[in-house]
Structure 1
């Protein structure tokens, strides 16, 4: 459990944690006390309140967005993204597309390279919202492009 509040993104120190005994419940997914040493030095993936249990989903090896990076949400219709489901860590290009009624550009369209850090489906709009991590200096440009709705997402190779 957390001895004190642990802020999202902060490095978890040994003094931040305490081993406690709890009754097991299938609804809980706490880390076992033996895993304490594996958590130290990792980052809090979310805010952990004092006295809160530390779960697997509360701990990450890295923080998002990384230093020097930003996360931008890009909402697309099913026609603006591949049917292959996106996975966290996928490399993509967010390509600027012409507005309705405009001809396709003669040269390669502008695009931003990005890494997917999350996705969700919006029931309200029927769009897929894709959270992408980009270089901090590119975030404002990508956000402005995404706001127009004139973008498409291209999935690049998953081979590493």
Structure 2
């Protein structure tokens, strides 16, 4: 009986040692399977097409799956001044595909300004990057007798005129269509149609 009593503490110690060893091994395996790194995240939401500023971004330390595309924190400064290729939501990690260089207009493109009044553009506010159609409108009180001329364009920027009466929309169009769009804009006989924002 005394021998059994002496063996029990030894067995308890042996089991405790095994438990501690297993826990320690688990921690080592877990640490070896996770990597923590500093990456760029979105601090403030940015609409597609808008310029990215320093205030829009932040650095966070996270454990990221190797399959997830992220931007290292060392590249944060290079992102400032570029444009958002898609809507950036606050609190999300930034991926390289969500950023594009601010080189507008590109080769083969031109920028034309449109001064538009109420009725010539949607009530839904236009945003940089929106895909739109520029539609030729008839003269005042005239009827539409033919299929209206339409030209595809992309919104580059939207501002209000100095007196607040008009909305000035800069649009990017093919260079071959730039003169036509400018001429129609000068007559005031053009309206903007906003197409789907889904991509």
**TM-score higher than 0.5 here?**
yes
> Which residue of the other structure, out of 90, 113, 134, is the alignment partner of 1:94?
134
Kindly indicate whether residue 190 of structure 2 is the aligned counterpart of residue 151 of structure 1. yes
SS at match of 1:142: helix
Aligned to 2:177: 138
Alignment correspondent of 1:8:
none
Q: How far apart are residue 107 of structure 1 and its match?
A: 2.4
2:122 paired with 1:82: yes
Deviation digits for residues 97-156 of structure 1 (CA, Å, limit 9, x no counterpart)? 01113212x221011110001000113260111110001111011000011001110001
Structure number with greater CO (CA < 8 Å, separation at least 6) is 1
Structure 1: give runs of 5+ residues left out of the alignment: 1-27, 43-55
Q: Where does structure 2 lack aligned partners over 5 or more consecutive residues?
A: 1-52, 59-72, 84-100
In 2, Cα distance between equivalents of 1:35 and 1:153: 41
Residues 138-147 or 106-115, more deviating: 106-115
- Which TM-score applies when normalising by structure 2? 0.52
**Equivalence for 2:167:** 128
Match of 2:112 among 59, 64, 72: 72
Q: Distance in 2 between matches of 1:133 and 1:63?
A: 12
In 2, Cα distance between equivalents of 1:120 and 1:84: 14
Question: What's 2:157 paired with?
Answer: 118
Aligned mates of 1:81, 1:35 — CA distance in 2: 42
Q: CA RMSD for the aligned pairs?
A: 2.4
Q: CA deviation at 1:37?
A: 7.4
Deviates more, 1:119-128 or 1:86-95: 119-128
Distance 1:85 1:123 in 2: 18
Which TM-score applies when normalising by structure 1? Answer: 0.64
The one-character-per-residue Cα deviations of 1:2-45 (angstroms, maximum 9, x if unpaired) are xxxxxxxxxxxxxxxxxxxxxxxxxx94899x645762xx7xxx
For residues 29 and 38 of structure 1, the distance between their equivalents in structure 2, rounded to whole angstroms, comes to 8
